[in-house]
Structure 1
Amino acid sequence: MSALPDWMRPPRPEGWFADDLDHLPEAPRHTELIDGALVFMTVPQTWWHSRLVTMLTVSLMEQVPDGSQAERDMTIRLDARNRPEPDLLVTTKPFDPDRTWYAPEDVQLVVEVVSPESAHRDRTVKLRKYAEAGIRHYWCVEEQDGAPIVHAHELDEPTGAYAPAGIFRQILERPVPFKIKIDLSRLVPNRNS
């Protein structure tokens, strides 16, 4: 086994901090910070995952109200030691070409598309962390027989945790964070077609 490259060594004994991600040009794309540890995407994305994220982004871009944007490939600085990169988010912040992250209060919706490599983080770790940061809406998208299924969660203010808001197949229709209607069956071609 070869030695770790210098850039992979934490700059301090207590590990990495959120701002450190902006100073790691050697890090692979989609590097996240979870509890002070760097998390790398270890396997290539599947076509299904990539296509679904693209089509969901396009669908949301067509429906967001003025003053909101659907974005991908951006991190959220949840706190000093957590900066995950969701597959997709909807923000109220205006376009800034130099932006590298969003604050939780600027994020209306976070979407994670589950893959085998990210399943535990998406279903449990990020579910808890996004809720603790106060992000009001979280969708966890699963694949079932080649079709997307969206598990929608809404922040329950009294508990500070997410409450299930519905499981959507075929059609996703939600009144919050803005009026949304997506034909899930059209996002990715059926494997049997």
Structure 2
Amino acid sequence: MGGTMTAEALPESPHRQSDGSKWPVPPADGYTVDEFFTLDLPPHTELIDGSLVFVSPQRDFHTLAMYLLEQGLRQHVPNDLRVRREMAVVLGRRNAPEPDVVVVKAEAIQGRRQTRYQAADVLLAVEVVSPDSEDRDRDTKPHKYAAAGIQHFWLVEMAGENDRPMVITYELDPVNKTYVSTGVHHDRLKLSAPYDIDIDLTAIDEL
């Protein structure tokens, strides 16, 4: 029984699921965005630098914070903008992350079957930090969003003894293509950009 071992012979292969099915093995140089959207993947899988990133089960905080911000953003959203949650944003040939919430140009909405937006159409990307993706949420993704020219970015952390959302807001420095923090918000998120926003962050207690 000599010869090389195949992935088939290794039940602990990283691509093998407990039910025997396998995720596709990526090409040597990683997936492109076009290939990524043809794959049959679990919900909320992201493409980062050509690699597939699978999402772990989310905490209650994640769901509630996302809901709170989505509702708050919808409250005064101008007619030419739309609020969406958990939609892929194409940042380049090998990157299609999925922000938790985005504000996009209304003209970018093509229909109910749409699966992605282009970075140029996104005004705000919001990431709610998860324990399994802290580095990606705080470091990898913001760098990529900034490089792609997305004007506004919010990072949402669970903070304080009441486990409420703390929102750190960032705006793009267009010269250096990096984000500059414009504030840290604990109980109330009151902003005039990208439009007039006023969200009571303590309202998470009632959800």
Deviation above 6 Å: which 4+ runs of structure 1? Answer: none
Larger of the two Rg values belongs to structure: 2
- Give the Cα separation in 2 of the matches to 1:67 and 1:121: 30
Structure 2 residue runs of 5 or longer lacking an equivalent are: 1-10, 16-20
Q: 1:31 and 2:27 equivalent? A: no
Q: 1:64 and 2:66 equivalent? A: no
CA contact (8 A) 1:32 1:38 kept: yes
Query: Of 167, 183, 192, which aligns to 1:150?
Result: 167
Superposition deviation, residue 110 in structure 1:
0.4
Q: AA paired with 1:48?
A: F
SS of alignment partner, residue 109 of structure 1: strand
Query: Of 30, 52, 62, which aligns to 2:65?
Result: 52
Q: 1:189 and 2:202 equivalent? A: no
Query: Of 110, 115, 122, which aligns to 1:107?
Result: 122
In the other structure, the counterpart of 1:81 is: 94
Query: Of 154, 167, 172, which aligns to 2:184?
Result: 167
Q: AA paired with 1:127?
A: P
Query: Of 178, 182, 185, which aligns to 2:195?
Result: 178
Count of residue pairs brought into register by the alignment:
187
- Give the Cα separation in 1 of the matches to 2:53 and 2:67: 22
CA contact (8 A) 1:7 1:24 kept: no
Normalising by structure 1, report the TM-score. 0.92
Superposition deviation, residue 153 in structure 1:
0.5
Q: AA paired with 1:118?
A: S
CA contact (8 A) 1:171 1:182 kept: yes
Superposition deviation, residue 94 in structure 1:
3.0
Structure 1 residue runs of 5 or longer lacking an equivalent are: none
Which piece of structure 1 moves more, 156-165 or 94-103? 94-103
- Give the Cα separation in 2 of the matches to 1:86 and 1:65: 21
Normalising by structure 2, report the TM-score. 0.86
- Cα deviation, 1:27-66, whole Å, max 9, x if unaligned, reads 111000000100001x211111111111211111122100
Superposition deviation, residue 7 in structure 1:
4.0
Superposition deviation, residue 13 in structure 1:
2.4
